[in-house]
Chain A
């Protein structure tokens, strides 16, 4: 009965699609006769590649030109060619470690903030995700439920994540109430520089932990059980099993997770922007927000400078992506060997 219903529902869903196919078939068959199989390949590729070309490839290309121009005008034709001046402005600095000595001090503040964020966040994130995956890989009851617990925040929108935590971390928020209950002094989480940075780190980990834990869990579950059984027959101790079996076999997944986390951490924006707005001062101003502010939001709009900054950031991401593709290929060949 149930399968019958399912079939009927399926048929109901398919019926309009089948009709659409019948209506579309004659003209497309005619097209195939005229254009041949090659023409049909073009037909299938064109919609996606046209949109892709206009909205991804073209911007990618003109970004380079854009970064060589100056002025407030939006359209490329109306902008002044300045060559490498924007890059020179970004890179003009007496001491790169002290943004205040740089011409474009906000840029270097953002660079160092982002670098600090990437190091701290990725380290903590990977460690937490690994621990979570190891725990979820144990013989738990209701494993699906526990996996869901950690995965739940992954789907939330960054704005929602930012607002939830702003509400919790605010001065009169529940966290400070809990601190008072425990006899601790309340903290101005989002107003004090150090704590605001920690908050952006913590909240982004909270939001993405489940995603990486899931990839690692898949890697752990792909390790054949008989390896552990064989090791147990050999009298291997649990700790040794972890270091000699689990970790080496998990390595491909772990590397992918690290690179993915790096790529995402470099681009950090949404959650942090909603949570702190880059503040206090510029304590949590990260690269993407810098590009956004300089390109669109600030009073001293300078799209050329933003383009130049985005190309520098893109360069970092390309390197990381190449690393990831290399790792992916290695993982693939390993997967085949298995």
Chain B
């Protein structure tokens, strides 16, 4: 262990432990447990059966009762370890249960029946994953549809965001025109106006335009992000004007200058914005919650919340669907973390 910590942390000069070294080790250790722990616990729990979830204190790993198929019985029967009166132990299957008494049979010899008090037996369990937690909501409930809706919203909103924001950023960074500062001020001023401030009137506009209960009603208000325009403009300002003048001398039209010169050179900033946009739109909650009131247009976030709000909370499904909702973001995190951290550190945008 000491070698591990020595590997993980290098101490501030010398051989003696400074108190800051102790704090560092404790903080990082607690960080790993606190930050990753809940997600790991969520994934482990999501693979438990309803019975497993109901256990208290909970087991760390998901267990499932082992079952056996016995001739003459339609369903697989659960196995139990039973202590016989003579003190010997045997693994028997439960054929039927009435009250506290269960009728047990030997799988090898189905005709040999034995009546056992349920207190005198232990279920035979092995680590097992309740995949039906995942398959059932996706197949039998609407979650597959919700996921489709979420993907549609995320992809379409991101594409529109990239195109419209980059066009506006191009105009605002590479042209001098009357009213430019007015537009810029407008954009900066609304940078921090959250949705919650314009929730009510925005909803009335969505209703008036017939976008209530449509995915476009979720998409459109989110795409003209001042943040995106701002971020792209700051980046485009670093592209030398001489390159654009060279293109103009080269007979390029303004559209070509945008599309063939400026956009390719803005690729790093576009990538950052694309990643942000995907995460934002995938995670959006309040606005879809307001706009979508029919199940068939729910996004995952809204569907999940509605599901968790039902009177009879079915945790085994909720946990599994929470994991599903988390997957794209975790993938983004694993593969694109560098872009995101660089983007945030560089711009302070989230």
Contacts and interface: CB of A to CB of B under 8 A. Distances in A.
Contacts of A234: none
Contact of B190 (A28, A54, A60): A60
Interface string B261-303: 0001000000000000001001101100110000000000100
Contacts of A214: 341, 344-345
Given A55-B221, A140-B10, A164 B42 contact: yes
Nearest to B307: A163
B35 interface: yes
B183 A57 contact: no
A62 B201 contact: yes
Nearest to A311: B197
B322 A56 contact: no
A111 interface: no
A144 B339 CA distance: 12
Contact of A131 (B27, B58, B172, B264): B27
Contacts of A321: 189, 191-193
A148 B200 contact: no
Contact of A63 (B171, B201, B253, B305): B201
Interface residues of A, number: 104
Contacts of A147: 341
Nearest to A170: B315
B226 interface: yes
B57 interface: yes
Interface string A176-204: 01001100000000000000000000000
Interface stretch (A89-97, A100-108, A116-124, A266-274): A266-274
Interface string A2-41: 0000000000001001100100110011001000011011
Contacts of A318: 192
A126 interface: no
Contacts of B204: 62, 66, 74-76, 303
B177 interface: yes
Contacts of A217: 345
A21 B256 contact: yes
Contacts of A54: 205, 220
A194 B277 CA distance: 36
A260 B227 CA distance: 14
B147 to A, nearest CB: 13
B38 A172 contact: no
B9 A141 contact: yes
B207 A74 contact: yes
Nearest to A214: B344
Contacts of B348: 215, 256, 260
A186 B31 CA distance: 24
Interface stretch (B64-72, B99-107, B114-122, B325-333): B325-333
Contacts of B41: 164, 167-168, 174
A247 interface: no
Given A155-B333, A260-B348, A44 B38 contact: no
Given A51-B223, A132-B27, A168-B41, 5 more contacts: A17-B259, A47-B163, A164-B41, A177-B57, A321-B192
27 contacts: A14-B264, A25-B253, A40-B255, A41-B177, A45-B168, A45-B172, A48-B229, A55-B205, A55-B220, A57-B186, A62-B204, A66-B204, A140-B28, A142-B8, A144-B338, A149-B32, A152-B35, A153-B39, A172-B58, A270-B285, A277-B309, A292-B290, A295-B199, A296-B199, A296-B290, A321-B191, A324-B192
Interface of B: 7-10, 12, 20, 23-24, 27-28, 31-32, 34-36, 38-39, 41-42, 45, 54, 56-58, 163-165, 167-168, 170-172, 175, 177, 183, 186-194, 196-205, 207-208, 220-221, 223-224, 226, 229, 253-256, 258-260, 264, 279, 282-283, 285-286, 289-290, 301, 304-305, 308-309, 315, 318-319, 322, 325-326, 329-330, 332-333, 337-338, 340-341, 344-346, 348, 350
